[in-house]
Structure 1
Amino acid sequence: MRTFLDFEKPVADLEAKIEELRHLSNPDGVNIADEVARLEKKVEKLLKQTYTKLTPWQKVQVARHPQRPHGLNYVNSLIEDFTPLAGDRYFGEDQAIIGGLGRFRGRGVVVMAQERGHDIETRVRHNFGMPKPEGYRKAQRLMELADRFELPILSFVDTSGAFPGLEAEERGQAEAIARSIEVCLKVGVPLISTVIGEGGSGGAIAIATGNRVLMLEHAIYSVISPEGCASILWKTSENAKDAAEALRLTAQDLDKLGVIDQVVNEPLGGAHRDPAAAIATVGDAIEEQLKSLLLLDAPALKAQRREKFLAMGSKSL
C-alpha cells in the first residue's frame, strides 16, 4: 500500500477514486476505462505540478519517505555476485553500513551502502542507518582493500547522521569519521558516492568524499538535520521548515554551490513511486562517471579529489 505525504493529499484522493472505479462494474453505462484514463492523466499532471515546485522542507519529507529505495535495494539491483564482508577487525560488525565485493555492469568493484531498514525489525538491526565507529572502520578496511586490488569504490549514502550514543563516543566516533574521510582522500582508485536519500553531516561525508558525488533529485545533504538546526537556533524543532530553507540542503542548491557533481533525475513523483526506474537511472549515471575516471591514474585521481574538496566554498548562490 502506497504511503502519501501531507502535501500529496490531492493526489491520494484522486488515486483512491481510481481504485474505487476499478472495482465497479460499469454503473449507469459509464465507460470506466475512459474515466480511469482521464483521472490517471490528471494524477500525472498534478504530480508534475507538485514535484516541480517542492519546498526544501517537502524535499526533506520525500528524502525520508519510508518506501524510498534504500542502500540494500541499490546493492541488490546494481551489483552482481555481491559478497558481503563483515567486521572492522577491532570491535565488531555494524550493519548500518553494508559493504563488500561484487561486479557493477561487468567490472569488479568494492561497494558500501548505508542501510536504514524498511520495518521495525530491520530498522533496529541496521540501527536506523546511523553507523557506529566500527561501521566507519569497516568502511576504511573496504576502501584500503579496494586500493590494494585496484578496484573502483561505489558508496551509497543514506543516513540522518552518525550514531550519537554514549557507546559510540566511547569507541571513538569522531576519530573514526575523520580517519574514514582521510582514507577516502588517500585511495588511488575511482570513488563515486551517491546520496540516495538523506546525507546527514559527518555520518554521510565519511563515505562520500569521492571523485564524483552524485545526488538524487529529491535527496538532501546537510551539515545538520533541519530539526537539529532549529533546536539550536530557535530552541525548538517547530522551526524545522525555516531551518531547511536556510541550510541549502537540496540537490539543486548544492549543485549550484559546487558541493556535488551531478543531480540524478527521479521518476515523476519521487523514487518511491518507481524504485526500479530510479535505481536503473542511478546505475546509468554511475557508469557514465566511472568511464571518465578510469582514464586517470592513481596520482591524478588523488589530486582531482583533493582539489575538488579544497575548492568548495568558492561558489555562492
Structure 2
Amino acid sequence: MNNKKSIKMLSKGPKVVAIGGGTGLSVLLRGLKEFTSNITAIVTVADDGGGSGILREDLGMLPPGDIRSCILALANTEPIMEKLLQYRFKEGRLKGQNFGNLFIAAMNDICGGFEEAIKETSNVLAVTGKVLPMTLEDVTLYAVLENGHTVKGESKIPLKNRELSSRIKRVYMEPEISYPLVETLKAIEEADLIVLGPGSLYTSVIPNLLVNNMVDTIYNAKAPKIYVSNVMTQPGETDGYTVLDHVNGILTHSREDFLDFVIVNIEKIPEEVLSKYASDGSEPVVLGKDDEEILNSKGIQVIKENLIDIKKEYIRHDSKELSKILIEIGRRIVQGC
C-alpha cells in the first residue's frame, strides 16, 4: 500500500478518545495509530514522583512524564529520536532525569505555557492525532483508604497503602475546582469511541474523571464508553482486584450506568513470567465467579479475548489486537450497525 493511500485510510478511521496515563495508555496508542489518525489522548497530570515530580517542584510546571510517553507513542519519527527522548541520565546532577522531560520543560519556557508546549512538541515529532493534558491546573491527588487514613500525593498512594494494608475507598483532587481544556470537551462530544485505560486504576485513569464536567461530558457523548481492564493487579493500589472491582472503581467515581463495554484478557500467562510478578505482589486480573453476570446486569457487555504481549518478561496488552477490537466497535457505530 502506498503512503498516500495509507494516510487516506487512516484519516477515515473512527474518532477515538483515549483517557488515562502511564505505560498502559501509551501501549494502547501505539496500536491505535496503525488503524486511525483521529486520536485524542487525554492524559493525567497528577504525577508527583520521579523526574516529573522534580521538574514540577523546581520549575512550577505540570509533570511531563505521562504526556511524553503518549507523545512518543503517537510520534512518527526516527528511532534514534525516540531513543534520545527516552534517554535517562545515569550520572551527575541529572542522574535519573529523562531527556524528553527536559525537552518539554524547555518548550514550556519557550512557549510560555504547558498547553502550547505540548502542541509544539507534538508538531516537532509529527504526532498522529492530539495529546492533551487532563487539566492545566496544578492538582494534587489524595486517596481515602477504607481504614480511614488519607494519603496525599500520587506517588505515595501505593506505598502507604501497602504499608497500611487497606483498600482504597475513593480518590479526590485538590483544588476541587479544575477544568478540562475546551479542546478536550469538543473531542469527547465528537468521538465515535471513548476508551478508559488500560493503566493504574486510581492514579492514571480515575484522576481524569475528577476534573469538572468530565463525567457528564463523557456520559452525554454519543460514543460507546469502553473500559480496558488491566492485565495484572498493581501492588498497593488494586491488590486482589477482579475485573468487577476495577469496573466498580470507575463507577464509584462516575455514575452507575457510565460504561457500555469492558474488555478483559483471558489468555493464560506463562508461570515463569507470573512468578516474577508474584514476588512483587502482583497477580492476573481475572473475572470473578459472578463478575460477568453482575456486569451484564449493569448493562455492561464483557468482551473476552487473548490480549497478552510479553517482551523481556514484562507483561503488556497486545496493542494491535486490543486496537482491532476497539476499532471494530468504532466502525460498527460509525456505520450504524
TM-score by length of 2: 0.35
TM-score by length of 1: 0.37
Higher RCO structure, 1 or 2 (CA under 8 Å, sep 6+):
2
> Would you tell me which structure has more helix in proportion to its own residues?
1
